A = this chain, B = another copy of it.
Amino acid sequence: MTSASPSEVSTYSVIGCGLIGASWTALASATGLRVQAWDPSWADAPRNVAQFQQRVAEAKTQLTELGLQGDGTIVICATLQDAVTGTDWIQENAPERIELKIALLKEIEAIIPAATMIASSTSSLLWSDLAAGLTQPKRFILSHPFNPPHLMPLVEIYGMTAEIRQRAADFYRCLGRVPVCLKREARGHIANRLASALWREAVNIVATGIADVADVDLALTNGPGLRWSVIGAHMAYHLGGGAGGIEHYLRHLGPSQERRWADLGAPQLTSEVCGLLIDGIAAEAGGRSIAELEQQRDAALISALKLRQSARNEPV
Closest partner residue, chain B, to A240 (CB atom):
B147
Tell me the A148-196 residues at the B interface (CB within 8 Å): 152-154, 156, 178, 180-184, 186-196
Bound-state Cα–Cα, A256 to B199, Å: 13
CB-defined contacts of A211 to chain B, threshold 8 Å: 180-183, 190
Chain B residues, Cβ within 8 Å of A190: 205, 210-211, 215-216, 219-220, 223
Query: Which of these, B178, B229, B290, contacts A228 with CB under 8 Å?
Result: B229
Interface status of A55 (Cβ within 8 A of chain B): no
Interface residue? A284 (CB, 8 A): yes
CA distance A214 to B293 in the complex (A): 32
Within 8 A of B (CB), among A195-223: 195-202, 204-206, 208-223
- Do the beta carbons of A297 and B228 come within 8 Å of each other? no
A269: interface (CB < 8 Å) = yes
Closest to A270 in B: B254
0/1 string, A284-313, CB within 8 A of B gives 1: 110000100110110111011001000011
In this assembly, does A231 line the interface, its C-beta being within 8 Å of a C-beta of chain B? yes
A187→B191 CA distance, assembly (Å): 26
Cβ B226 vs Cβ A196 within 8 A:
no
The reply to whether A230 and B234 contact each other, CB–CB distance below 8 Å, is no
B303 touches A312 (CB 8 A): yes
Cβ-closest 8 pairs across A and B = A217-B232, A225-B228, A229-B229, A197-B201, A154-B223, A230-B300, A221-B315, A191-B223
28 contacts between A and B (CB under 8 A): A153-B223, A156-B223, A186-B205, A188-B260, A189-B219, A190-B215, A191-B220, A197-B201, A197-B264, A213-B234, A217-B233, A218-B232, A221-B229, A224-B228, A226-B229, A226-B301, A226-B304, A230-B301, A230-B304, A238-B281, A239-B290, A245-B281, A247-B278, A250-B277, A254-B274, A293-B316, A297-B316, A303-B307
* Residues of chain A whose beta carbon lies under 8 Å from any beta carbon of chain B: 19, 124, 146-147, 152-154, 156, 178, 180-184, 186-202, 204-206, 208-240, 242-243, 245-247, 250, 254-258, 260-261, 263-264, 266, 268-269, 274, 277-278, 280-281, 284-285, 290, 293-294, 296-297, 299-301, 303-304, 307, 312-316
